[in-house]
Every structure is written in structure tokens, then in C-alpha cells.
Amino acid sequence: MACDGDDTRAYKDTSCYMEVPFEASEYFKKCWMKTSANLSDDTENLGMSSLYSRSTLNVAGTLIGIESIGGVLLNAIMLIILLRKPDLRKEYLTPSIISIALSDFLFCLICLPLLSLHFFMEDMLSPSCKVFGFLTIGMWYCSAWSLLGVAVLRLVGVYFPGKTNTTAFEKASRLTPCLAWAISWLSMIPTLLPRYGSFELECKSLMCISINIDSEGHPIKTGAMDVLKYVVGVMTLMMLILNVATYLKISRQIRKAHAQMKDTHREIADKILEKERKAGRMMAIITLLFFIVYCPNIILRRAYPDAHFEKPIMVLLTYLIGWSSGIIDPIIYIICQERYQKEIKELLQMMKTNTTCSSPSQNQNSNLTILTSQTNSSIESRT
């Protein structure tokens, strides 16, 4: 039995897990069951059917599938329009936005389909919880570090505007998302090492969860995920400070410029103010929602340590909200930026034009086939 780092704790501790045999999974022969004074120790009633009805599982699988398809399509569109336009590629925030869109795209393409099938088939289809946890959380960290990079770049651009046109700043804007990905995956490596905890299959939800155990199943005090949680807290605080400092500086500069302009130039000042507000609003909304969508699950599990078993429907709803981050980000990009809306319209128009241009040749081929057939039939009738 693993009791989250202290095997001398009372059995009633809600952080205790015990390993039990499990034969209902295609890939897993064992699972870990949470034990507490409020939960039953019935090792016979395992699997997702112990928590959810069949109709609930079907609805959850369908909704996750919709999130997956929508996230793949929207993030693919964002990647296309950001990469195909030279003027957009030159902007210093574009590499970081591409980084976030790419991590969202991969999350929706790899992780969400597995989670959707997980609810339909009542089994975790990933052959390894360690790999699945590594990929799922690693992609989330890529987006988080990219957002922190955006906050740093915007702060430098606002407080040192003369540096934004330098080659060094241009290289830094391209290097920032690369560092975000490198730091994310390197920080996740300890989760693959048995001595720092392990991702294991939970017996009832059949979800891959992090348990503080070593390679022999003995509890450890602090796991790799515990450390990463503190890192996330520090990152969140840093993003808040950087974004607030940037907002205050932009507001001060714009008010000053606006006050110094004459009435004839008031319209120009208003346009500058509106442009800065839209850019700041977009990044602020994305950063806030990136963390807010995961807050319901964190709050629920803090308030009810055994919520996964006592309030499974509420926990499922919080999961659905959290997994929607991959589809929320591109929607915010499109809503907040008229340029992106314009590029999407041009892309769709180009696709429509290409389809229309290919139709006449197809019609000509079809008419030629019909004419040939009629000619052959006429020759055969004469003979």
C-alpha cells in the first residue's frame, strides 16, 4: 500500500493506494485502488461502469471527440495562416503563438482521441500510463512555458521599444518557443524515472494518475509531479506580474502620447490605443483561460478528496472543461484579431476557387466519356 510518502499514516488517509490485480483491461494486468474510511475496499467492483452509466460514457466520449476534431481543425488553420503570410511571420510574437497552436494541435490529435475511445471502450488504450502521462502533461507544459515566453517578450518590447527592431531581439523571439519546448520535456523526464513517482492506472476511473511510489511500490515523500506543481505556481505568479507590469507601462505610454497630440491627431491616437488594447486583451484572455479551465477540477478535488468516486459526474465535467483548452485558444485568436479573420476568409476563398477551377476539367472529362460511349454505341448499331 502506498500512502503518499508515509506508510505509517493511518489507513483512513485519503492519499492511500493499494495495488490489486486487474483482468478487464487489454494492456494492464494491475491497477491501483484508492482507499480511505469513506470508500469501499471492494476489489470486485472495478472499472468505469462502477462510476458511470453507459449513456454517460457515450456522451463523454462524443464530447471529447468533438473537442478533438474541432481543436485539430482550428489549430491547423491557425498554423497555416501564420506560416503562409510573410508579414505575420515577421511579428515577434508569432513564433510563440505558433508554439502554443502546435502543442494544442498535438494534444487534440494524440491525447484527446485516446481519451474519447477510453470512455467508449471503458479501457485505457495507451499501452503505458507513463508515456501517456508524459505526453499529456508535457504538451500542457509546452503551452505554459510558451505563454511565459510571450509575457517576457512583451515586457521587453514595451520597456525597451528600441530593441524590438534589432537582430538580437528577432533571434530571441524565435529562440523563446524552442527553449519553452526544451524546458518542458526536460522537466518531465523525472516522471519517467521510477524513483520519483509513477503514472499508474486507477482501478475505477481507469485514468492514468500520478502516485508517489518507487519502482518497488514503496511510498515516497515527494514525487516529480509534486515539484512540477510548485513550478506551475511560480510560473503563474510570474506571468501575472509580467503581464500587469506590461499593461501598466502600455497604458502610461499611450495616455501620455494621447495627451500630447493635438485634436487633429486624436483619431490616430485612438487607433494606436485600440490596437494595443486588442493585443493585450487577446494574450490576457488566453493566459487567464489557460489556467482557469483547470481550476474547477483543482477546487473540486481540494474540497472533496474522494470526489472522483463520490461525485464522478462533477469530476467528469471538470475534465471536459479542462480538455477544452485546445479548442479555446484558436477561437480566442480568431475573435480578437481581425487580421486572422481576414486570413481565414482568404484561405477559404482560395480553397473554394481551387475547387471551382477543378470542376470544369472534370465536367469536360465526363462529357468526353459520354460522347465516346455514344459514338461507340452508334458504330456498333451500324455494324
Specify the 3-state DSSP secondary structure of 17. Answer: strand
Q: Of 100, 117, 109, 97, which Cα lies nearest the Cα of 70? A: 109
Q: How buried is 223 (Cβ within 10 angstroms: 0-12 exposed, 13-18 middle, 19+ buried)? A: buried
User: Which positions ≥6 away from 333 have C-beta within 8 Å?
Assistant: 78, 97, 101, 282, 286, 340
- Strands 16-21 and 208-211, by their bridges, are unpaired
Calpha distance 288→293 (Å, rounded):
9
CB 87, CB 343: distance < 8 Å: no
Residue 176 burial (CB count, 10 A): 21
pTM of the full structure: 0.81
| Per-residue pLDDT tens digits of the chain, which is 383 residues long | 555 544 433 333 335 788 888 887 888 888 888 776 555 556 667 788 878 999 999 999 999 999 999 999 999 999 999 998 888 888 888 899 999 999 999 999 999 999 999 999 988 888 888 899 999 999 999 999 999 999 898 888 888 878 878 889 989 999 999 999 999 999 889 888 878 888 888 888 888 888 888 777 777 777 778 888 888 888 888 988 988 888 888 777 767 765 665 554 555 555 655 665 676 778 788 888 888 888 888 888 888 878 888 888 999 999 999 999 899 999 998 888 888 888 888 888 888 887 776 555 444 555 545 445 555 545 444 44
pLDDT score of 142: 93
Quote the Cα angle for 245-297-56, to 5°: 140
Query: Kind of pairing, strands 16-21 and 30-35?
Result: antiparallel
List the end-to-end C-alpha distance of the chain, in Å, as a whole number: 91
pLDDT in tens, 301-320: 888 878 888 888 999 999 99
CB burial readout 311-330, b (16+ within 10 A) else e: bbeebbbbbbbbbbbbbbbb
Question: Burial of 75 by CB count in 10 Å (0-12 exposed, 13-18 middle, 19+ buried)?
Answer: buried
Range 53-195+223-344 has CATH code 1.10.8.50 = no
209 close to 199: Cβ distance less than 8 angstroms: yes
- The confidence score (pLDDT) of residue 36 equals 65
Show Cβ contacts of residue 38 under 8 Å, excluding neighbours closer than 6 positions: 14, 306, 310
The reported pLDDT for the residue numbered 370 is 47
